[in-house]
Amino acid sequence: MAEYIDHDGAAEDCEVPDLSDTEDDDDEEQWQWMDENADVAVTCLFCDRLMNSVAVTLQHCQANHGVSIPDLVKRHRLGDYGYIKMINYIRSVKCSSDSLKHILDGACPWENDDYMKPVLPDDPLLQIDLEELCGPEVMVVGKSDGEQLTDLLVRSQQAEERALRSEEALAMAMQDLHKLKLLAQDLVLNADTTRVSSAAGPIAELREDEDEAYFSSYGHYSIHEEMLKDKVRTESYRDFIYLNQDVFKDKVVLDVGCGTGILSMFAARAGARKVIGVDQSEIVYQAMDIVRLNNLEDTITLIKGRIEEVNLPVDKVDIIISEWMGYFLLFESMLDSVIYSRDMYLAEGGSVYPDRCNISLAAVGDAQKHQDRIAFWDDVYGFKMTCMKKAVVPEAVVEVLKPETLISEPSVIQTIDCNTARLSDLEFTADFSLKITQSTQCTAIVGYFDISFDGGCGNKVVFSTGPRCTKTHWKQTVFLLEEPVAVQSGQDLPGRVTVRKNRKDPRSLLVTFDLAERKLTYSLQ
Ligand code: SAH
C-alpha cells in the first residue's frame, strides 16, 4: 500500500480526543510506528470522530469501541484486498463494533468485490501498510491461496537465482583453486630442479628403507622371467655383445643391476677378462648360483648392494653395461645409477652400453578406447560419475597400442647419450610438432623409446618399443586427453612436454603436456 496522503489543513479542524487516559504503555508502543504519519484527517470506523492520524484512529477504535483492527486482520487472515474490503464494508453498512466481533472465522460478509470501492474518498485507513500494522509473518497467512502461491513462486524463483549465482561463484572459485594448484605444483617442482642437477641426485641420496619396495619388487623371480622372455630386449643385448666381441675382448666390464646375471654371462662368453655384477635385490643370490651353474665364477664377480654404496674390487672399468630402462624410458630413474657408475668407475676412453636413447611421441585417434575409459563415467548404470574422470585422466596408462590408431608421424622429444648425459638431462621440457596423417579426433598422445648400441660397434644394434614394432614388456605409455582434439590430415599439432621426477617419489615421473590450449599433468607410477 502507498504512504499516507497529506490532507492539507484538515487536521487543524479536527476534534482530536485526548486519549491519554485510556492508553496504556503497550498500546503506545503498538501505535508508535504510525505517529510519523500524523497530520491527516481520519474518520473513525464506528462513530463520527475525526482524528489527525491513522494511529490515533486505530487506537481510538480499540479503546472506545473495543475493536482491534490488527486482531481482525489476523483472525480472518486478511490480505491487502481483504483488509480494504473490510474497511469499506464497515463504513458502507455502518456495522456496529459488536456485530464485527461476532463474525465467524471464514464467513466474512465483505467478500464481494464491490467492497473494493472506497466509501470515503482518499480514506487514510485504506493507505496503510498491512505488514507494518500486523507484522511480516501475518502477511503470508493473511493472503488468499492465489496470492500465497504467487508469493511462493516468486520466492522460489529468487532462491533459484541465488543458487545459480552461488553455483557460478563456486565454479569460478574451483577454477581459481585448480590454477593455484597447478601454480603451486610448478613452483615446488621448479624449486627442486637445482637439487636434481647437483652431483649425485635424489636416487643416490635415497635411504635404503625409502627404496626398499623398489628393490624387493626385483627380488621375485617373476619380473626377471618376464624380462628374460622379452626377446626384443634380451636378444638385442645378446646380439650387441656377441656381434661385437672385439669390443669386449679382455675388457673389465661392470654390469649395473645384474639381476639374474644374464648380461654378465653374455659379456663373459664374449671374452671379457673380468665382469663385476652388482645388484641390491635378493635376486643376486640366484645370480650367484646361476654363474656357478655355468662355470663362469672365475670371470664373473657378483656383489650384493646398491651401486652407489658398494666397494668394487677395481678402481676403473672399460665398459658399463646395464638394462636400466623403465616405462617411457625414464620411469624408475635407474639411469641415475648408471650415470653415477659412469662418473665413478668408467676409465678414460671407456663406453657405456646401450648408449643412444630416444623418447618419441605420436598422436592417437581411438574413439572406442576414449569412450571405454573416459565417456564411460558419464553414465554408469544410470548414474553420473563424471567426477571420476579427474582421477582417471591424469594416470598415464601402460598398454600395447594398436598401430592403426596412430594418427601422426612420431616426433622425438629427447635424445640421451649415456656416455655424456647429466642428471639434469633426465628432466626436460621440449616443444614438439606432430604431423597429422588423418582427419579425425585426437584422443591421446602415446610415448615410447628407442635404444641403440652404437658407439665403437662394428655391428650396431637397435630396437624400438614403438607401437609399430614387435611388442616388448615396456609396451607403450598412453596419455589420454580428457577432451578429444579435432585434427586435420596434413596439419602440425604443436605442443610442449615437460618430464620431471615426482619429488614425493623420485622413481616415478610427472609428465605435463601443453596441448591445444590445455595443460595436463600425468603421473606414471
Ligand atoms: N640386468 C638384468 C636385470 C635388469 S632389471 C637383466 O637384464 O635381466 C634392473 C636390475 O637392477 C634389478 O634387478 C634391480 O634390483 C637392479 N638395480 C636397480 N638399481 C640399482 C642400484 N642402484 N644398485 C644395484 N642394483 C640396482
Cα separation, 495 vs 481, whole angstroms:
13
Name the residue at shortest CA distance from atom 13 of ligand 1: 259
| Co-location of 368 and 447 in the same domain | yes
Kindly report, residue by residue over 218-250, the tens digit of the pLDDT.
989 999 999 999 999 999 999 999 999 999 999
89, part of any domain: yes
Q: Does the annotation count 323 as an active-site position?
A: yes
Closest CA relative to residue 453, chosen from 193, 240, 227:
240
Select from 113, 142, 171 the last residue of a domain: 142
Residue 392: pLDDT above 50?
yes
426, part of any domain: yes
For ligand 1, the distance from its centroid to the CA atom of residue 324, given in whole angstroms, is 7
Q: Is 238 in the pocket of ligand 1 (CB under 6 A)?
A: no
Kindly report, residue by residue over 294-352, the tens digit of the pLDDT.
999 999 999 999 999 999 999 999 999 999 999 999 998 899 999 999 999 999 999 99
Q: Does the annotation count 131 as an active-site position?
A: no
| Co-location of 398 and 495 in the same domain | yes
Q: Is 307 in the pocket of ligand 1 (CB under 6 A)?
A: yes
342, part of any domain: no
| Co-location of 235 and 287 in the same domain | yes
Question: Is the separation of the CB atoms in 390 and 358 below 8 Å?
Answer: no
| Co-location of 315 and 364 in the same domain | no
For ligand 1, the distance from its centroid to the CA atom of residue 340, given in whole angstroms, is 14
Select from 142, 162, 186 the last residue of a domain: 142
| Co-location of 49 and 78 in the same domain | yes
**Residue showing cell 459488536:** 98
Band (pLDDT 50/70/90 cuts) for residue 154 is confident
Burial 239-255 (b: 16+ CB within 10 A, else e): ebbbbbeebbeebbbbb
Question: Is the separation of the CB atoms in 38 and 3 below 8 Å?
Answer: no
Cα separation, 266 vs 333, whole angstroms:
25
149, part of any domain: no
What sign does the dihedral 323-325-327-333 (CA atoms) show? positive
| Co-location of 57 and 12 in the same domain | no
Average confidence (pLDDT) over 446-459: 95
| Co-location of 368 and 503 in the same domain | yes
> Per mean pLDDT, which of 24-38, 122-136, 442-456 is the most reliable?
442-456
| Co-location of 58 and 117 in the same domain | yes
| Co-location of 12 and 125 in the same domain | no
Q: What is the pLDDT of residue 143?
A: 57
Q: What is the pLDDT of residue 326?
A: 95
Q: Domain range holding 50?
A: 37-142
| Co-location of 457 and 503 in the same domain | yes
331, part of any domain: no
| Co-location of 403 and 489 in the same domain | yes
Q: Is 259 in the pocket of ligand 1 (CB under 6 A)?
A: yes
Q: What is the pLDDT of residue 365?
A: 98
Tally of structural domains, the chain: 3
309, part of any domain: yes
Question: Is the separation of the CB atoms in 364 and 353 below 8 Å?
Answer: no
328, part of any domain: no
| Co-location of 235 and 319 in the same domain | yes
Average pLDDT taken over every residue of the chain? 86
For ligand 1, the distance from its centroid to the CA atom of residue 458, given in whole angstroms, is 27
Q: What is the CATH number of the domain that holds 364?
A: 2.70.160.11
Q: Is 68 in the pocket of ligand 1 (CB under 6 A)?
A: no
Residue 206: pLDDT above 80?
no
- Residue 358, SS3? strand
Cα separation, 463 vs 470, whole angstroms:
9
185, part of any domain: no
Name the residue at shortest CA distance from atom 6 of ligand 1: 259
> Of the residues 147, 167, 323, 395, which is catalytic?
323
Select from 118, 142, 166 the last residue of a domain: 142
Q: Is 215 in the pocket of ligand 1 (CB under 6 A)?
A: yes
Q: What is the CATH number of the domain that holds 271?
A: 3.40.50.150
